[in-house]
């Protein structure tokens, strides 16, 4: 039967049965009734039938086996991952305040929807990761160290006894440039463990800065305010590498890089 010959009630029934219940697309329904997809879509809106979002439509197609996942079974190269990551990073940077607020509220809603047990498990995992990174070095520290080595720098990692016979460690030290690199995570500038711990960390940082400068070294502090991601880490490294290439021509003793 031609779609045009159907009554409103019949059209609504067809769309509800084939689109909602069977999960067919507007194009599939249109093909069956010899019409066009946009007409079916307009009628769905007219009859207040909820229309699937793009992601819901894609999920529906994949679940029914009508299409293969575009990335399933494919391995992306490092360059492809970086390119995708940079694109996502730039899109976040260009978000308006209104859109940022919406996303924050959405994240908060997801967090609020977790059970108390789920929240505690996530917090415990985060705290464990932070403690481990303080002992072994954070992901960002290792990332920067590896790329510096690739660029030909001699790197000393978490080495003690550089600072006046103290046990204080410099995160990354470049002896050829007499330059220390300190990677400061959120606990260095936010009360992650409370105000008392924050004050202790900041006093520790001030002492360390004084010792480093007092030994005639330069100091680069990298402020890591967000979770580690290879994309942001690469952006930080590019900033660091640009600075290091010109650091012998600079009169300053301390430098700051932010993610």
> Does the pTM exceed 0.95?
no
What are the residues facing 182 on neighbouring strands?
Answer: 221
Q: Which of 120-129, 176-185, 197-206 has the lowest mean pLDDT?
A: 120-129
**Residue 128 pLDDT exceeds 70:** no
| Residue carrying the six token digits 């031609």 | 2
Q: Which two tokens stand for residue 86?
A: 């940079």
pLDDT at 226: 83
Helix-helix angle 8-15:37-46, to 10 degrees: 100
Residue pLDDT, tens place only, 189-243: 888 778 888 888 889 889 889 999 998 999 999 999 888 888 889 999 999 999 9
Mean pLDDT of 171-187: 92
pLDDT of 69 reads: 54
- Pair of tokens at residue 72: 């399933």
pLDDT of residue 97: 80
**What pLDDT does 186 receive?**
84
Which residues are bridge partners to 222 per DSSP? 183, 257
Q: Which helix (H) or strand (E) holds 213?
A: helix 195-214
CATH superfamily of this structure's domain 136-258 = VSR Endonuclease (3.40.960.10)
Q: What is the pLDDT of residue 138?
A: 84
- Parallel, antiparallel or unpaired: strands 170-174 and 179-184: antiparallel
pLDDT digits (tens, 9 = 90+) for 48-63: 999 888 777 777 767 7
More confident residue, 5 or 256: 256
Check residues 78 and 252 and name the one with the higher pLDDT.
252
CA distance 187 to 197: 8
Q: Can you give the pLDDT at residue 181?
A: 95
255 or 135: whose pLDDT is higher?
255
Q: Please tell me the predicted confidence (pLDDT) of residue 73.
A: 59
pLDDT for 164 beyond 80? no
Of residues 211, 218, 213, 219, the one with CA closest to residue 163: 211
Q: Residue 180 in 3-state DSSP?
A: strand
Strands 254-258 and 156-159: unpaired
Each residue's pLDDT tens digit, 77-116: 656 665 666 666 567 667 788 887 887 788 778 878 888 8
Q: What pLDDT digit, counting tens, does each position of 136-157 carry?
A: 668 899 999 999 999 999 999 8
**What's the average model confidence in pLDDT over 13-25?**
90
Q: How far apart are CA 155 and CA 149, in angstroms?
A: 7
Q: What is the pLDDT of residue 162?
A: 73
Burial class of residue 169, CB neighbours in 10 A (0-12, 13-18, 19+)? middle
Domain boundaries, the chain: 3-63, 78-132, 136-258
The mean of the pLDDT values for the chain is 83
């Amino acid at each position: 039967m031609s779609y045009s010959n159907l009554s409103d009630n019949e059209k609504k029934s067809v769309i509800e049965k084939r689109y909602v219940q069977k999960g067919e697309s507007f194009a599939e329904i249109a093909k069956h009734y010899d019409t066009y997809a946009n007409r079916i879509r307009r009628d769905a809106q007219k009859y207040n039938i909820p229309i699937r979002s793009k992601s819901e439509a894609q999920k529906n197609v994949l679940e029914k086996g009508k299409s293969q996942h575009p990335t399933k079974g494919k391995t992306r190269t490092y360059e492809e991952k970086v390119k995708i990551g940079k694109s996502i990073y730039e899109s976040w940077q260009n978000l308006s305040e209104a859109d940022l607020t919406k996303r924050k509220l959405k994240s908060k809603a997801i967090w609020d929807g977790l059970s108390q047990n789920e929240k505690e498990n996530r917090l415990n995992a985060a705290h464990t990761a932070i403690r481990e990174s303080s002992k072994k070095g954070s992901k960002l520290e290792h990332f920067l160290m590896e790329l510096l080595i690739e660029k030909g720098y001699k790197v000393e990692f978490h080495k003690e006894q550089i600072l006046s016979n103290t046990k204080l460690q410099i995160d990354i030290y470049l002896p050829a440039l007499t330059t220390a690199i300190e990677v400061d995570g959120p606990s260095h500038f936010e009360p992650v463990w409370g105000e008392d711990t924050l004050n202790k960390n900041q006093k520790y940082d001030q002492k360390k800065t004084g010792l480093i400068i007092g030994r005639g070294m330069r100091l680069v502090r990298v402020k890591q305010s967000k979770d580690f991601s290879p994309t942001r880490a690469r952006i930080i490294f590019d900033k660091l590498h640009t600075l290091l290439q010109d650091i012998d021509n600079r009169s300053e003793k301390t430098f700051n890089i932010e993610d």
